[in-house]
């Protein structure tokens, strides 16, 4: 199943002076990582919204802070697809310090696939077969420097 990771540098203001990462920033790290995975496999979120009138919305999240990440630290965020249900994706998420390998946080997220109705409201919808196939076929997808992609176990 799909796995994607990327490295980020912790910007100023994402943690306190002791390296305690603010919870909304942890959520954003994994949200951005998942969006990059979809962009990499040819289904960018902005295209889903504009062209297909669909999107993935957060259904459930649970993240646990474990260790510090201070301004300037290099962090690897990783999402691994645990399960694809009819209308949901179930992700396992971890973030580690690139230099030390220490775990910063871990958790899980459930995304619900939804159609954007004419009135702007959302309605859950089955995940399309073409997307399900791609997510099942790819193994690990890693973003390398300058936007180059290395696909492993495909």
Tell me the per-residue pLDDT of 43-88, one tens digit each, with 9 for 90 and over. 999 999 999 999 999 999 999 999 999 999 999 999 999 999 999 9
Domains (range + CATH), the chain: 3-152 (3.10.129.10)
* Mean pLDDT, rounded, of the chain: 90
Reported as a pLDDT band with limits 50, 70 and 90, residue 1 is confident
Closest C-alpha among 98, 101, 86, 81 to residue 30: 81
If one compares 153 and 121, the residue with the highest pLDDT of the two is 121
């Amino acid at each position: 199943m799909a796995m994607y990771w990327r490295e980020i540098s912790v910007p100023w203001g994402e943690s306190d002076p002791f390296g305690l990462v603010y919870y909304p920033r942890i959520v954003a790290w994994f949200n951005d990582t998942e969006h990059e995975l979809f962009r990499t496999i040819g289904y960018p979120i902005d295209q889903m919204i504009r062209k297909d009138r669909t999107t993935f919305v957060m259904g459930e999240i649970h993240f646990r802070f474990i260790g510090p990440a201070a301004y300037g630290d290099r962090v690897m965020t990783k999402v691994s697809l645990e399960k694809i249900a009819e209308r949901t994706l179930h992700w396992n998420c971890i973030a580690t310090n690139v230099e030390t390998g220490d775990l910063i946080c871990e958790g899980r997220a459930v995304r619900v696939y939804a159609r954007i109705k004419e009135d702007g409201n959302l309605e859950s919808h089955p995940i399309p077969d073409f997307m399900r196939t791609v997510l099942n076929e790819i193994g690990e997808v890693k973003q390398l420097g300058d936007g180059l992609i290395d696909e492993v176990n495909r």
